[in-house]
Structure 1
Amino acid sequence: MSEAGRMEADPRSRIDPPPLGRGTRIAYGSGAIANGVKNVAFTAYLMFFYNQVIGAPAAIVSGAIALTLIVDAVFDPALGRWSDSIRTRWGRRHPFIYASALPTALCFALVWFPPAGLSDMRMGLWIFVTAMLTRIAISAFEIASQAMAAELTDRYAERTRLFALRYWFLYLGQYGFSAFSLAVFFAATPAFPRGQLNPDSYTGFALLGSALILAAMLACGLGTHRRIPYLRQAEVRTTRRGAGVHLGEMLTAVRNRAFLAIFGFGVLKFTAIGLYSAVALYFHTYLFDLNARQLAVLVLDALLAATVAAPLAPIMSNRLGKRGSSMIFAIVGVSLSLAPVILTYLGLFLPAGDPWLVPLLFAFGAVSGAAIAISLINTSSMLADVVEDHAVRTGRHEAGLFFAASSFMQQCSTALGIALSGVLLSVAGVPSRGAGVAVPDAAIRHLIEFYVPTSALLWLAGCLILLAYPITRRSHEENVGLLRARDRGAEIPAE
């Protein structure tokens, strides 16, 4: 019998697996580069590309993007349930990681090459179909790989360190790719002083993004393949379960109090993040009058933020608890991120063209980004802790379902934020630039008036909801102890 077969036959041998090696941790974290590339491309550039470069109306573009998120979100629970239930010689996570790599890369590339001569509505349909396929394909990878984190380790602090590494690679993919693209692909030309408005720039952007996605997904799968024998396998079912049983078990899982607190926080948080991602390039381009090279410098502040946040997140988790650190740093981060826009609106910030403008924006971005990253890292680690809390109550280890539900929430909320950005852009009077229409200063001021209070309210309300999260370090360790005793054969009643 193979090593994987022996481990699957004796689940107790997984109670004390060998420590995670550095190479395995790095391989696991590097998979997040794929989602980082997709995230920054779809949130920061997709709306701008089709609205300001191609010239499609903002309402149609934002509506098409929002619909892709909603359709993807519908698929997420089924993908998570499937990942929890499948039994193969490669376990229940790796088949999804390998199968999704090539489709994601190909569909991502197609998004940026719309056929010429499409009407506005057909352009919206092209955005919807290509972006939807990309999102569904990468969701299969993300759900499986994030669920695997809860199985790689059950240790409270080590789990936070693992998610910190994953978020560092997420930021590397997201902002490293963006910075490189701004500096190389979107460099200024005589015809396009603002290179992000040059249609030809998006060819290299699309092809490099596609290649990075493929490489990162394969690296994650291959680099963690040797851990398959130590991952929890799907339980053997002696009877077939109908749709009603599946639905009932899913509803039981998502009614978990700890999960609901994270879910509520996430809905408002990712709505705010989706809104920010869609309007940030408008502020940088039209409020601060930055060119592509200046934008590339600013994008690097997120890499600095992630580098600072990765080691700080576990420290803050130990000192303040995961819930406390998530709330505190979310409030600090969003306050600092809004400050330059508010101060510019009030005439109290450095004017466009000032030589100290970019360094000051960089400082604000690095500090606010680090704070928000600490909050995101600890919230993800909190979600992994929900898996054991649910398993103690029900006897079922359903990490895939929880991370799928989280992905569902994230997709729908980001869709809401992007759709909201389309509304705010339209109401503020920001025109499409396809016909060369200038964007008036008054429109950007109106956009600030709508954006700032909306973003602040979303973050604050989300933090209040997170107060209901009940799991502490002590209760998590008690849950882990109970589950290990159950794996060794002790009878532990499920609630």
Structure 2
Amino acid sequence: MEALKKRTLWGFGFGNIGFGLTTQIISAYLVFYATVILKMSGASIGILVSIGIIWDALSDPIMGYLSDMTRSSRFGRRHLYLLIGGVGTVIVNLLLWFIPADLGQLTKWLLMIVFVLFVKTFLTIYITPYTALAAEISDDYTDRTRIQAVKTTFFLLGLFFATALGMFLFFRSTPEYPVGQLNPNGYHNMAIFASVVMAASMLSAYFSTSRLIPQLNARIMRTEGGNISQFFKEIYYAFKNVDFRAVVLGYLFTNIASALISTLGLHVYTYTFGLNNNGIAIIVGTQLAMSILSQPFWIKYTDRTEKKEGVKLGLLMALLACVYFIACSIFKDALYGNVFYLIPFGILGGFGTGGLFTLPQAMVADTVDSQALATGARQEGVFYGTLTLCYKLSQSVAIFLLGLALDLLKFDSARAVQLDSTVTGLSLLLAVGSAVSFILAFYSYRPYTLSRNKMNEIHKALKNS
């Protein structure tokens, strides 16, 4: 491969902002939008979201395998799917957020499940080949971390636009809606903005890397026949890779914590800590800003040490943030309405999760090379698809249980003020659940063995093979 150019690095990385923005408005707002704006029950939405995540998860390795098997002199293995997935996401995302609130419960649920499944499908068609492509445009140990860091930066900017900036832009307080997040029109405007950004990022990812298609085609190694038996065989061999399995499990537990914050965060900030749209924007913006600003640190830290050591440090920071949040939950009455007491949580948690977003993705790219040396086949699509399969399945279970928890804790969207037991329970569930997830992730990463020196040996062997 040619040396990584800045225009390739930044143009390709920008391709992740639309995905981050679109997925985050679904993750952060859909449950709140459905239960509060559309007046649907928490249990029904928990079932709906879980079905969507299960479908999304199952489709990831299928899409990865399909892109691995694709051969095209014009589009290569990945680029056609960037266009198909991007255009489909732009259209269906708009439909999802324009469901009329005055429809019957069953009609709203059916419309929402159809749109959720379609938008998840198009997002998978886009992001799975995109993520696999990130592992192909460079085989340098440090450049791979840089690629993932820039991808993560734009992904987090998408999250920032969806949550922190979105609260300012789309959910301002008005005389009719003093609590801005209760305004239905805000969700419509947010959907339009997300679809426009998705279109721009799709085009950037495509055109910044399209000139590399001949080189990428030349890297393709042997290919088995494309059939269902081979598909399951490749997933099986992926899981036999000890290093890949360690990353999968660690990433799985880390993303359970992400499911907790994305599903319950708006409820907890609004009802437990009494934050308005400005307060929510500040705390979420702090977390995302620190994750973005931390990226140069994680590049330099892992350049001097190893990727695994960076992950361990990120998990420690995230765990300390959870402990602080538990303390805030215990003293919630004294902190009510004052976002600045939560700023330390945002700083520490944001910095730690910045590494947890970036480094595992770069570690998977290294496991692909290790597997290629052992088997003679490059399986970026299957590896990244399998990674997302596992953590999304875990998220689906977590979100389903969280939907039930909203009902069990007696959350009532008709109440302006929730029961004290409800707001305390939601806050502790978020903090303690996240802490347990980070501890399990820490132990899951322990078997990972791919160091810089080992990867240099693997790359030399691949070049000579």
TM-score, normalization: structure 1?
0.89
Is 2:405 aligned against 1:424?
Answer: yes
Deviation of 1:448 after TM superposition, in Å, equals 3.0
Q: Residues of 2 paired with 1:238 and 1:286: CA distance?
A: 54
Residue 226 of structure 1 is matched in structure 2 by: 211
SS in 1 for 2:289: helix
Once the two structures are superposed, the pairs formed by residues 160-239 of structure 1 within 5 Å of their partners are 160-233=145-218, 235=220
SS in 1 for 2:174: coil
1:446 to 425, 438, 445: 425
CA contact (8 A) 1:97 1:145 kept: yes
Q: Say if 1:224 and 1:393 are closer, same or farther in 2 by CA, change over 3 A.
A: same
Q: Residues of 2 paired with 1:303 and 1:450: CA distance?
A: 22
Deviation of 1:348 after TM superposition, in Å, equals 7.6
Deviation of 1:469 after TM superposition, in Å, equals 1.2
Residue 321 of structure 1 is matched in structure 2 by: 306
Q: Percent identity?
A: 26
Q: Residues of 1 paired with 2:421 and 2:230: CA distance?
A: 56
Is 2:96 aligned against 1:111?
Answer: yes
Deviation of 1:239 after TM superposition, in Å, equals 7.8
Residue 252 of structure 1 is matched in structure 2 by: 237
Aligned residue pair count: 464
CA contact (8 A) 2:168 2:277 kept: yes
Deviation of 1:240 after TM superposition, in Å, equals 4.3
Q: Residues of 2 paired with 1:238 and 1:46: CA distance?
A: 41
What are the superposed Cα offsets for residues 20-54 of structure 1, whole Å, 9 maximum, x if unpaired?
22111111111111221122211110101111222
Residue 415 of structure 1 is matched in structure 2 by: 396
1:126 to 111, 116, 124: 111
Deviation of 1:122 after TM superposition, in Å, equals 3.4
Task: For structure 1, list consecutive stretches of 5 or more residues without a partner in the other structure.
Answer: 1-16, 487-495
CA contact (8 A) 2:57 2:389 kept: yes
Residue 300 of structure 1 is matched in structure 2 by: 285
1:55 to 27, 39, 45: 39
Q: Residues of 1 paired with 2:227 and 2:188: CA distance?
A: 47
2:346 to 358, 365, 373: 365
Q: Residues of 2 paired with 1:142 and 1:368: CA distance?
A: 26
Residue 25 of structure 1 is matched in structure 2 by: 9
**Structure 1 vs Structure 2 CA RMSD:** 2.0
Q: Residues of 2 paired with 1:214 and 1:148: CA distance?
A: 19
Is 2:432 aligned against 1:465?
Answer: no
Residue 42 of structure 1 is matched in structure 2 by: 26
SS in 2 for 1:221: helix
Q: Residues of 1 paired with 2:409 and 2:332: CA distance?
A: 22
What are the superposed Cα offsets for residues 385-423 of structure 1, whole Å, 9 maximum, x if unpaired?
011000011000111110111121232222222222212
Q: Say if 1:233 and 1:403 are closer, same or farther in 2 by CA, change over 3 A.
A: farther
SS in 1 for 2:306: helix
Is 2:249 aligned against 1:264?
Answer: yes
Q: Residues of 2 paired with 1:237 and 1:304: CA distance?
A: 43
Q: Residues of 1 paired with 2:220 and 2:6: CA distance?
A: 29
Larger radius of gyration: 1
Residue 383 of structure 2 is matched in structure 1 by: 402
1:385 to 347, 366, 369: 366
Residue 5 of structure 1 is matched in structure 2 by: none
SS in 2 for 1:467: coil
Q: Residues of 1 paired with 2:312 and 2:149: CA distance?
A: 17
Q: Say if 1:472 and 1:215 are closer, same or farther in 2 by CA, change over 3 A.
A: same
Q: Say if 1:183 and 1:206 are closer, same or farther in 2 by CA, change over 3 A.
A: same
CA contact (8 A) 2:11 2:208 kept: yes
Deviation of 1:331 after TM superposition, in Å, equals 2.6
Q: Residues of 2 paired with 1:272 and 1:368: CA distance?
A: 11
Give the counterpart letter for 1:39 in structure 2. T
Deviation of 1:257 after TM superposition, in Å, equals 0.9
Deviates more, 1:294-303 or 1:131-140: 294-303
CA contact (8 A) 1:70 1:411 kept: yes
Q: Residues of 2 paired with 1:303 and 1:428: CA distance?
A: 29
Deviation of 1:477 after TM superposition, in Å, equals 1.1
Q: Say if 1:211 and 1:334 are closer, same or farther in 2 by CA, change over 3 A.
A: farther
Give the counterpart letter for 2:421 in structure 1. A
SS in 2 for 1:152: coil
Q: Residues of 2 paired with 1:362 and 1:70: CA distance?
A: 34
Q: Residues of 2 paired with 1:236 and 1:383: CA distance?
A: 18
SS in 1 for 2:60: helix
Deviation of 1:18 after TM superposition, in Å, equals 2.6
Q: Say if 1:358 and 1:246 are closer, same or farther in 2 by CA, change over 3 A.
A: closer
SS in 2 for 1:424: helix
CA contact (8 A) 1:111 1:127 kept: yes
Task: For structure 2, list consecutive stretches of 5 or more residues without a partner in the other structure.
Answer: none
What are the superposed Cα offsets for residues 323-350 of structure 1, whole Å, 9 maximum, x if unpaired?
122122113113214523x223332885
Q: Residues of 1 paired with 2:181 and 2:277: CA distance?
A: 6
Q: Say if 1:197 and 1:161 are closer, same or farther in 2 by CA, change over 3 A.
A: same
What are the superposed Cα offsets for residues 190-212 of structure 1, whole Å, 9 maximum, x if unpaired?
12111001112211111111111
What are the superposed Cα offsets for residues 351-409 of structure 1, whole Å, 9 maximum, x if unpaired?
224xxx33342343123111111122111111110110000110001111101111212
Q: Residues of 2 paired with 1:176 and 1:241: CA distance?
A: 40
What are the superposed Cα offsets for residues 300-324 of structure 1, whole Å, 9 maximum, x if unpaired?
2134213322101122213442112
Deviates more, 1:122-131 or 1:210-219: 122-131
Give the counterpart letter for 2:360 in structure 1. T
Residue 492 of structure 1 is matched in structure 2 by: none
CA contact (8 A) 2:222 2:377 kept: no
